[in-house]
Structure 1
């Protein structure tokens, strides 16, 4: 398949719709791996016995076509151990399908938020996952053939290999940018509330610093074993809760009870510190991913004091989500 999108045309394998239909047992519910705001994902077995993940985009006329081509172009050009690999595609009328490598451990949320599985994620594994996600984002922002802003980073889109190596998935909202571009604007804000940076959700402005914000939320979730939205019933959010603990000099109270007492306190505290630097409200205060990875891998590098995070909730203010009314907002609540 050749698709021109301001980059060199790419070629990946085209499968017939019948092949994919057979591979997934007619997209049976028993083979369903998950889904989001743009499509559903099924497990499939190709004629050569290879297991694959099949993503079927929802039918959305011209926008669906745009999203489909965008994901094909972006992912086919990327090669990194922390990014999911595309194998092929299929098109039949309005049906648009992407075929990816299959990762048997599903997504990070499958382990992180399940009390019966949290114990399989000891601190060493969590720290390795944090580093892998960071390296994947750094590749997208700086080291890949294209400068790419993912815009859809969340725990559900971090897939795990057998050895728990993380791979970033779902590039349906990814944006290819010029190397000298810093900020872009959109009137169509789409993503998952809680992971989107304030300037993106409220103003439609996004940049590499938007991904940095999402990374910070991911780190806080990995450390705490709790979803950002799990605090809503108490009128809080995760970034506010973590920042208050930091302010009160008790950051380790954030740590998941599943790993209580079995972690190096200095390393965990440093990860929380870095995450809070990432989720600062002003994007100019957030470091880039190269700096963040340097912070993660060097214990001697000094860290700035984090300012209040985006969506910070004062003690006397009840939590209310603020969505932009002047644009088309798609909130994927998975």
Structure 2
């Protein structure tokens, strides 16, 4: 019996390795480099499942590290491929760590200790949990158990509740992850969150589209930079929503755009009145530096305007005292 178990184990391992080899050969996979770094670099990465179900799959690059590129915020239209992209990164990392070749031209994977995903939920009414409760429970599990070696995949955090609640939660989760310097792919429909891209370690990416007249072509290509359009009404039109509803939606959208977006009205106030989790100390230092620069500029201008030839010794001493007090913050 013991020998049979050993033989079964060996055969199972051979079966898995042969399967890896067959899939790699048939689908043009490549051998990844797995190391102790915190870098995830993928060239022309592909989703191993989705590419089998489409005529032509658009590959994408990925670069994540623990310094300047650890929180990637990904925006773009519905149906453009945000979810496919973030899932493909997780799958490539997983494949590399179980000994498989990967669907990419090149891959360097700094090994991960955990892969956390928040990519959708279903109601668990029998357990007394709504979709949003499940979403928040899973988010809490991620935030309470991450490490520097964790890879986090978040898809549309905050969509299960009201716009303002969802937006606030998504923003604060993004800030928290930035402070922890955890490698994270953060896909969101809250385009206002791209305002965080000015902070170190946060990079904005979008899924590109091409406008041809009134039509939209989804290019499925990940590009650096933010976008502020989701083309949700266009997607609704593609889905067959009645034209009367589409027209009315466009009218309402135009009115909202005239009155101003959440970003225009709120983001500035958030940043001014409520310092972010990761920028409070940095902001204070920056404000102090700005004050010092302003002070030196004022003193420099005063010195330029002094007519030395017409200045009496006593007036020079008085002026020197004034400038000294300004430097010491008394003026």
TM norm structure 2: 0.26
Q: Which has the higher contact order (CA 8 A, sep 6+)?
A: 2
TM norm structure 1: 0.26
Higher radius of gyration, 1 or 2: 2
